[in-house]
Structure 1
Amino acid sequence: MALRASIGQYYSADSPVHRLDPRVKLLGTVVFMVSCFFVSSLPTLLLAALAVGGAVACSHVPARRLLSQIRPIALFLVVTSLINLFFVQSGEVALSMGPLHIHWSGVHAAVLYTARFFLLLLAGSLLTLTTTPVALTDAAEYLLAPLERVGVPVRQGTLVLSIALRFVPTLSQEAEHIVAAQTARGADLENKGALAYARACVPLIVPLFASALRHAENLGRAMDARCYTGGERTHYHVMRLVARRDAPVIAALALYLAALIALGMR
């Protein structure tokens, strides 16, 4: 029984994607993820796949490392695909299995929706792998700063996000230690069905929750000792847009959106 969480784990590499301004990466990823919901045909799907595939190739991130982030959500993709396959019943029948009938529209929906959700998750995973949590939250704070004029606590929200991303790998590692300790005490946590697997996780929740509370208390004491009151935060690294580095990516994103709109209007 392996409890692994790769969210927030930065993959260090010297690539064009890693060197991009975090604001450009965050904004580009959000725009691409939103555009995935407008993918409705094979040409637009191929265009979106080409866009995210080019970004993955430029990132120098191993495919195995990238896919490991999507593995925990693979069950959701499978369930979504099956729901569309069996419950979308319009058009001609492609296959009949007793009381079950699979229509071509169901096949189309299953392939299209699963593929675009996969591309969406792939883009989000690439963002977290090529951007440190601190840079990611700094970029989010900068892009959401105008909301502070209407009373939205952007700085506090991005600080909470930064802390959450920072402690996901820590809690994941402690969960693995708890599993190893329970296994050493004779707990059988391997080769179980879905219901038995859920029951086996119950003895792990209490110590993991206690560990999370302990980390939160220690962090609170450290922040109090440094007289943190939630005001203005300073940044060690100042973000700067570099035309030679960031402008081509912005132009490529605009070209992608224009091509997506043109293909979608056909």
Structure 2
Amino acid sequence: MFFFLTWTVAAILILLTPITAQCYTNGTVMRNSGCQYKCHCEGDAACDRDSGACLGKCDPQWFGPACQYASLNFAPSEQLAWLTDNDDGTCNKESRPDQPITVRLDTPQRLSWVRVVVNERDHLRQFQLTYRTESSREFSSCPGGQSAKVNNLTLDISCPTVEVVGELKLSGSGVTALCSLYICGGRNVALGQSTLQSSTYDNWHSRNVVDGNPGVPDSRAFEFEETCSHTVPNSPDGWWTVMLSKAAIVFRIVIYNRREPSRSSE
């Protein structure tokens, strides 16, 4: 699988549905380490070397056993602070079984799956998940409608849509015990993969793009040299390529440009 880009690239995240990872890491990925994702612990803390689990919480916008899944931003239709506080210990105390919860994605896009966390095991599978596109007035059922129990209080619900989704609705008695909702934005499968580019300027190698580090915003150019790629200036038809080690279903690509003070982020 090939993806072609030109000019300067800081990092690329290719995000897809969950599969088993080979190892865990935190910080910069070592070359040829075989790692397929990195953990994202709160405060950039290190994860457990053996299990990959974070000792504390995940960084905001990440979730999973090693905080390796990106969580899409959303806003509830009502003021539900307990649903957006990144805390599985704060739960719903107000909704009735017949009162669904609707959330709107900050950026409408295709879905893959969502995770719900409850505080009562009897309510774990008591959810109906539906979605609405930007052009539709009605909510539709998720394709397949399959779910997988993670533990007694956590459930993953599959919802691989073809359409771009703007809103999600959770209904059923499980809503009364709901603590957290995570809408999966995928995990980075470009991490540590083989790369090539049309030319290399100084030490701005193609492999720097798949180290999982987008660089610190507003740093100077030389500070990005070990984590960004760069083709030779003014070279025509420049390109950058990543080759995945195995076939993957990709539904989202995130690209970070070099974010210097004199440049606007893209």
Common fold: TM-score over 0.5: no
1 or 2, which has the higher helix percentage? Answer: 1
TM-score w.r.t. length of structure 2:
0.24
Larger Rg: 1
TM-score w.r.t. length of structure 1:
0.24
